[in-house]
Structure 1
């Protein structure tokens, strides 16, 4: 298997920076929005982990907060799209 880099971690500064344009549109402050940041937005498993649904081969480029999962016995090009919150440990 290819070398899989570690998952990035969202720092407080990164979260605040992302909240600024949204806060401006909502006429509130970024700090208030950042308080509601949810940890479930980060992947609960790493690429290469096996879950009940199959093997995590990537994070979807098209569907937010979803894994690409290869099912055992399926072709190399077939993937399920599994939401982070629906992924279950093997």
Structure 2
């Protein structure tokens, strides 16, 4: 019987607040308010619009560009947490390179061609039927826990 691995880290309130504090210092704003209105994946424009609408800010273009950094910082913190999760829990790929798998978030089948250099515990998967010489090299990034045997 295989051992159940701890779940992959997700974005936390602490990650969001830390990112908001960095940006708030640059635009002389309240980090808690930025963190309250930020949702993972928001760009600076979306965050500025939320702050304008719900926190009654009057954001400038410079503020919007600074707010763009929040999502980048949150993503960087998440990547670090995932790297640590892999190291601490000795996360190993469940399928070898060359295995034919289904990427469950896409509900499509492909072949594992390698591991991502930039995303922890993530496969590079070549879509089934893709001819690299005709269409160029394209790979899906599928997290280990998002694939199953095809």
> What TM-score results when the alignment is normalised by the length of structure 2?
0.33
Provide the residue aligned with 1:47 in structure 2.
Answer: 97
In structure 1, distance between residues paired with 2:114 and 2:126: 9
Off by >6 Å, runs of 4+ in structure 1: none
In structure 2, distance between residues paired with 1:67 and 1:48: 11
Q: CA deviation at 1:38?
A: 3.7
Provide the residue aligned with 1:64 in structure 2.
Answer: 120
Q: CA deviation at 1:85?
A: 0.5
The number of aligned residues is 53
Higher relative contact order (CA 8 A, sep 6+): 1
Larger Rg: 2
In structure 2, distance between residues paired with 1:73 and 1:89: 17
Q: What do you get for the CA RMSD once the two structures are aligned? A: 1.4
The 3-state SS of whatever aligns with 2:149 is coil
Does 2:146 match 1:86? yes
In structure 1, distance between residues paired with 2:95 and 2:127: 16
The 3-state SS of whatever aligns with 1:88 is strand
Provide the residue aligned with 1:23 in structure 2.
Answer: none
Per-residue deviation, residues 40-90 of structure 1 (Å, max 9, x unmatched) = x11000000101231000000011100000002334200000000111111
